[in-house]
């Protein structure tokens, strides 16, 4: 169901608006099913219903809601997470960003002997209950949907600490524009996490190495390592390496 919701949301966003009949044909689902899906998406603020169809409420370049991204490419995200977890030694102090890929990193770290500060409530929930893990929680305001912790309290929490490794997600990453995010307060928290850490690992699906979002977080050279997958274009990887960043490619299963 979640893949169909994402398919509908992406199609309506690309077209601006679409009819129920066209969406039913696109998804090979019944019109009744599509209507239920549109109600779900309308409740998430993704689109607006009208008789016989829907129009998108997401602007170009705006972040797709967390719930719709949650199940996208899970197998790839778990391979990326396993690679990042293998780079972290027991006993490290680690700050883990929000987002769906970093949530998988948190799940991969949950059973480890580490001190971890998560930057979202989704990530914190993935870490909760680890028997050997020391879980630190920052202050801050939780962004609706994403539940990323932002604002002065979150930034002050990070400024008071020093980490061995920061694991940072991104909305876009290119050699020319660096690491970028959709949300300005989130970008500020990412920068604070990077300043507080000796090593910065960016983890992202390869497709994001061709994208640039609104808020600049850091130049590519500020990243010690980028962990990505084979969907990353060779030219984009080469440009990042030329900018001084090490790129580690995770093979398909």
| pLDDT band of 14, cuts 50, 70, 90 | confident
Query: 24-72: per-residue pLDDT in tens?
Result: 999 999 999 999 999 988 887 788 899 999 988 776 556 667 666 666 6
In order of 73, 98, 100, 182, 234, the CA distances from 105 in angstroms are 14, 10, 9, 21, 25
Average pLDDT score over residue span 160-169: 98
Q: Is 144 exposed, middle or buried (0-12, 13-18, 19+ CB in 10 A)?
A: exposed
- Tell me the pLDDT of the chain averaged across its residues: 92
Q: Which has the closest alpha carbon to 8: 60, 47, 61, 66?
A: 47
Query: 110-130: per-residue pLDDT in tens?
Result: 999 999 999 999 999 999 999
Domains observed in the chain: 2-60 (1.10.10.10), 69-250 (3.40.50.1360)
Q: What percent of the chain stands above pLDDT 90?
A: 76
**Is residue 156 pLDDT above 90, yes or no?**
yes
Query: 177-235: per-residue pLDDT in tens?
Result: 999 999 999 999 999 999 999 999 999 999 999 999 989 999 999 999 999 999 899 99
Distance CA 96, CA 109 (A): 10
Q: Which pLDDT score, from 0 to 100, does residue 15 have?
A: 87
| pLDDT band of 170, cuts 50, 70, 90 | very high
Q: Which pLDDT score, from 0 to 100, does residue 100 have?
A: 92
DSSP 44-105: TTSEEEETTEEEE-PPTTPPPPHHHHTTTTHHHHHHHHHHHHHTS-TT-EEEE--SHHHHHH
Query: 84-109: per-residue pLDDT in tens?
Result: 999 999 999 999 999 999 999 999 99
Average pLDDT score over residue span 6-28: 88
How many CA atoms, within 13 angstroms, populate the side-chain half-sphere of residue 39? 6
Q: Which pLDDT score, from 0 to 100, does residue 3 have?
A: 76
Distance CA 239, CA 80 (A): 21
The reported pTM is 0.81
């Amino acid at each position: 169901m979640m893949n169909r919701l994402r398919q509908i949301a992406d199609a309506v966003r690309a077209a601006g608006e679409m009819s129920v009949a066209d969406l039913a044909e696109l998804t090979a689902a019944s019109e009744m099913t599509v209507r239920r899906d549109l109600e779900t998406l309308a409740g998430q603020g993704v689109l607006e219903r009208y008789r016989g169809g829907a129009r998108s409420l997401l602007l170009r370049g705006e972040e797709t809601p967390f719930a719709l991204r949650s199940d996208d490419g899970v197998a790839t995200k778990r391979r990326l997470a396993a690679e990042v977890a293998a780079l972290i030694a027991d006993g490290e102090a680690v700050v883990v960003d929000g987002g769906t890929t970093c949530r998988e990193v948190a799940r991969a770290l949950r059973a480890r002997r580490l001190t971890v500060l998560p930057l979202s409530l989704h990530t914190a929930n993935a870490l909760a209950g680890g028997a050997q893990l020391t879980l630190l929680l920052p202050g801050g305001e939780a962004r609706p949907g994403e539940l990323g912790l932002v604002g002065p309290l979150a930034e002050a929490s990070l400024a008071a600490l020093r980490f061995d490794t920061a694991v940072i997600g991104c909305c876009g990453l290119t050699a020319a524009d660096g690491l970028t995010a959709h949300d300005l307060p989130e970008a500020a928290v990412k920068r604070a996490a990077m300043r507080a850490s000796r090593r910065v690992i960016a983890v992202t699906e390869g497709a994001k190495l061709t994208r640039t979002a609104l808020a600049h977080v850091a130049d590519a050279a500020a990243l010690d390592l980028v962990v990505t997958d084979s969907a990353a274009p060779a030219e984009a990887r080469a440009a990042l390496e030329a900018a001084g960043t090490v790129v580690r490619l995770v093979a398909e299963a």
